[in-house]
Amino acid sequence: MSDIIYTKVDEAPELASASLLPIIQKFAKAAGVSVGTKDISLAGRILATFPEALTEDQRQSDDLAELGRLVKTPEANVIKLPNISASVPQLVGAIKELQSQGFALPDYPDSPSTDEEKAVRAKYDTIKGSAVNPVLREGNSDRRAAKAVKSFAQSNPHRMGDWASDSKTHVSSMSGNDFFSNEVSATLDAASGAKIVLETADGETVLKDGLEYPAGTVVDATFMSAAALKDFLNTQIEKTKEDGILFSLHLKATMMKVSDPILFGHAVKAYLAPVFEKHGQKLKELGVNPNSGLGDLLERVKGETEIMADINACMGDRPPMYMVDSDKGITNLHVSSDVIIDASMPALIRAGGKGWGPDGKEHDANCVIPDNSYAPVYDEAINFFKENGKLDPATAGTVQNIGLMAQKAEEYGSHPTTFELAEAGTVKMILDDGTVLHQHKVDAGDIWRSSSARKAPIEDWVNLAISRQKAEGCRAIFWLDESRAHDAELISYVKPILEAQGVADKFEIMAPREATRASLETITKGENTIAITGNVLRDYLTDLFPILELATSAKMLSIVKLMNGGGLFETGAGGSAPKHVQQLVEQNHLRWDSLGEFCALGESLMFLADAKGNDKARILGEAVEVATQGILDNGRSPSRKVGEPDNRDSHYWFARYWAEAVAAQSKDTELAAHFAPIAEALATNEAAILGELAAVQGPAADLGGYYRTDAAKTDSVMRPSKTLNSIIG
């Protein structure tokens, strides 16, 4: 196994890797450090799941499973780039592309009827959503802005939209019968197995069995009423029209891979209710599934003149929709994975509460977030900025995050304990001894789900928070609501640990709404705070605050201290940036910023130095920090516009600054001597290298695929400078 594993992923970060990874491998080798790769891309995971459908030459090892084993060992040192958390449309798109490339994969069964189809569907469903992170995250999350990045953001503040006190932008959530209000939770006194059953008038159906929970596990259960959701959506559509603002729906159909696509489908059906009422049978015959979105629906009804006319009439009568791409007519409801709450809401808040409408102009919006669990965070942020005006990035402090996520903690919706119920009845979670731990009366169409958090990850999370607060000496808040069932169970863990370690006075416990305001007040004064949160809120906050403070979450330092001693260094919290790929394909310009990769690389090398006593690796890691600072100080980050420096240019400058920093240090003369000629060659050939990189921009770029690109074509696109390649190798 290599000393450092650099993950092969998808979309923009994977394209950037084609340029950056050869540089990393070249430089690391000089310190005796090997850097290998493991494929956790969507295409790679699909191929690894269906070896029986492939030829011997086409088969691929299950790299995700291998990494899952590695992260449970002290030797783990993994740099994890953002991968696609696949929605059904993305999964289907990847399957079709792989089939076109000669891989005899089975189709994704929309409505499996035979045992064979059900088996295929079950295998594909393991790939959907946030399937990678729960496997790799065998530790809790420590996310914060690197000092160099925060300093640069304060010295070079990004543009923020102005907030008007009379802005009509607001958050709308269900007032009851949602996941938040129906939640129950309990901590198990003893280890136990469990099953989930649905009891109806006709008998009992086992929804899931074989569950195993260690002693001390916090186990939750909840459900959302489909009828209440329908009423809520209908009300919000009408209210949005009355207010004369945009209708926008904000969900997380990637992480919440079972529940949120269903909620999304309810919204599509509500928005086009007259069409579904009039043409329901025909739409069913055409294979329309509202969960797949408006884009799929419009594709299926092409040529159906009457249906198209009614759709256009309905949309003309509805409030205008928040747009993903107004130029191309792509709406909020086109694809469930196009509008992801942790990215969409911060972007709207940063823009002064404005979203793009179908007219290509900015408007106020009704931000519809059905479940009330974390909607108050965004609601309170909007209220705060209406009252106080926009945040000033030049003077703002920072919100760090310590997140509970180890061992699949709180992974609502991305595991097989979420169900859309076919019949009315009572859902029960029953322990091995017959104890009914949780139960809910439900109706057909309701969505029931359960999650859990084990004792060891919870205790590790609290101790990590104590360690970080001691290191930072700043305000620290546990974002826990004592009136919420799950949070009350966590508080019963948190308080005794804080008291036992004599640090209870260093921490506050607040519900998310109050914690949001407290944190915004703190950073507005230029001070720092640590948000200590559960898993889903970790995901949301590590986009919200960085986007406000830094303009992006992709530059966050994200360290996962694995519970068995290894290290996982994550990059690019903002996702895998499909729009960046689109621009590269159209204009051969990649605006992806690899600053997150630079930060993770430095941390990985320093971790390796400590773990293996490799002083040369430490020098390389320290030099990475110098190089990263050089990128920022000298404005070498990628530009958004074609014809200007892009990702490949930034990699040249990173290599140069890195080599110069190693050559200039005096701790290791052997390393300095090795890197001196590299640094000199990179500097001497600056004009030639930058000229070769600039020359390729403008024309379309051929990658030979999207989900599974052609390696040779991608290498040609991302490493177009012969001069640079001759130096790096």
Residue 553 lies in a domain: no
Range with the lowest mean pLDDT among 253-262, 274-283, 518-527, 635-644?
Answer: 253-262
Give the tokens for residue 442.
């439900």
Asked if 261 and 253 count as a contact pair (C-beta separation under 8 A), the reply is yes
Q: What is the structure's pLDDT at 234?
A: 98
Residue 578 lies in a domain: yes
Helix, strand, or coil (residue 47)? helix
pTM: 0.86
Taking only the tens place, the pLDDT of each residue in 624-635 is: 999 999 999 999
Taking only the tens place, the pLDDT of each residue in 142-196 is: 999 888 889 889 999 999 999 999 999 999 999 999 999 999 999 999 999 999 9
Average pLDDT, the chain: 95
Q: What is the DSSP letter of 29?
A: H
Q: What share of the chain is helix, strand, coil (3-state, %, to 5)?
A: 45, 20, 35
* Structural domains in the chain (count): 1
Taking only the tens place, the pLDDT of each residue in 278-333 is: 999 999 999 999 999 999 999 999 999 999 999 999 999 999 999 999 999 999 99
Helix, strand, or coil (residue 369)? coil
Q: In whole angstroms, what is the distance from residue 489 CA to residue 217 CA?
A: 10
Question: Taken in order 183, 184, 190, 196, is the CA torsion positive or negative?
Answer: negative
Q: What percent of the chain has pLDDT over 90?
A: 91
How far is the CA of 229 from the CAs of 141, 177, 225, 235, 270, in angstroms?
A: 33, 8, 6, 10, 10
Taking only the tens place, the pLDDT of each residue in 421-450 is: 999 999 999 999 999 999 999 999 999 999
Q: In whole angstroms, what is the distance from residue 729 CA to residue 726 CA?
A: 5
Residue 672 lies in a domain: yes
Residue 641 lies in a domain: yes
Residue 301 lies in a domain: no
Strand order in the sheet with 184-187: 184-187, 218-224, 447-453, 418-420
Banded model confidence at residue 127, pLDDT cuts 50, 70, 90: very high
Asked if 199 and 275 count as a contact pair (C-beta separation under 8 A), the reply is no
- Provide the residue range defining the domain that includes 118: 4-146+558-728
Q: What percent of the chain has pLDDT over 70?
A: 99
Banded model confidence at residue 338, pLDDT cuts 50, 70, 90: confident
How far is the CA of 283 from the CAs of 272, 303, 313, 334, in angstroms?
A: 12, 13, 17, 16
Q: What is the structure's pLDDT at 210?
A: 95
Does the pLDDT of residue 573 top 70, yes or no?
no
Asked if 692 and 721 count as a contact pair (C-beta separation under 8 A), the reply is yes
For 148-167, give one letter per residue: b (16+ CB within 10 A) or e. bbbebbbeebeebbebeeeb
Residue 584 lies in a domain: yes
Question: Taken in order 436, 438, 439, 442, is the CA torsion positive or negative?
Answer: negative
Nearest to 729 by CA among 660, 672, 682, 686: 682
Q: What is the structure's pLDDT at 253?
A: 87
Residue 312 lies in a domain: no
| 54 Cα distance to chain centroid | 31
Q: In whole angstroms, what is the distance from residue 554 CA to residue 411 CA?
A: 22
Taking only the tens place, the pLDDT of each residue in 653-663 is: 999 999 999 99
Q: In whole angstroms, what is the distance from residue 459 CA to residue 477 CA?
A: 16
Does the pLDDT of residue 574 top 80, yes or no?
no
Does the pLDDT of residue 134 top 90, yes or no?
no
Residue 73 lies in a domain: yes
Helix (H) or strand (E) holding 559: strand 556-562
